[in-house]
Amino acid sequence: MNRKNRILLNELTKTDFKLRYQGSILGYLWAIIRPLLMFGILYLVFAKFLRFGDEIPRYPVYLLIGTVLWNFFTECTNQGIQSLIIRSDLMRKIAFPKWIIVLSATTTALINLAINLVVVIIFSLLAGVEFSLTWLVVPFLILELYLLSFGIALLLGSLNVKFRDVQSIWEVLIQALFYAIPIIYPLSIVAGYSNFAANLLMLNPIAQVIQDVRFCLITKETLTGWVVLENVFLKLIPLILVAVVLTVGVLVFKKKSKYFAEEI
């Protein structure tokens, strides 16, 4: 990326971040408050009333991490998909690589995640979680989730330029996906009923990342794909899916970006 594109990316990212909280009383604090509110509701419903996670050490932190990572994925994809529509005027006026628009939108989500992770770490330490070297693996897992989100944003964002229903369809799909990932319920519950279902869940890169981060940050008792999946090839499927989604997203975006100005 040349200097001109870096400057443009920096300015777009700062503008996106400022506009997201412009006009609100609490401003940037919403970057922390929103996931904490969602965590609080889920904790009351599923931990206190439905008694999920009784067998999991430090379940509140366990749930908070899942909530934060899920919020990052949804924000990253939703903002990335609609970013080209939002920045349509800019695309008509200036000649520049269009993927920078999607990158800036997803980078804003990455900044929010960084802020939330500081809260997660503080919360973890207060809950009695001890630092270990496995914490150093977490940035690589977040990179994996970001690349998946960026690939989806490129793919669906390029299709959304012409077919505006894509955004609405994705919002419905992502609601269903929330319950297909062990965020509010432990994977051990699923494994207790069906090993096949647990194996199927762990083929999902989002579930794999969330479980691996929980394993690295909180407790080594967390079930991960490396434990649940017995076949070596199956263990690699989440990484393969991320690579496929990113590659397809880049190729489709490159092909369709030539016509964005005409289709918007």
Residues of the chain with pLDDT below 50 are none
Q: Is residue 2 part of a domain?
A: no
What pLDDT score was predicted for residue 17?
Answer: 66
Range of the domain at 70: 10-263
Alpha-helix runs per DSSP H in the chain = 3-20, 30-42, 59-86, 88-93, 99-126, 138-160, 165-179, 187-193, 195-201, 205-217, 225-228, 232-256, 260-263
Number of domains, the chain = 1
Q: Give a yes or no: residue 156 inside a domain.
A: yes
pTM for the complete prediction?
0.87
Which pLDDT score is estimated for 10?
Answer: 78
4 in a structural domain? no
Output the six-digit token pair for 114: 């960084």
The pLDDT of residue 87: 77
Q: Is residue 3 part of a domain?
A: no
What length is written for the chain? 264
Can you list the alpha helix ranges (DSSP code H) found in 127-185? Answer: 138-160, 165-179
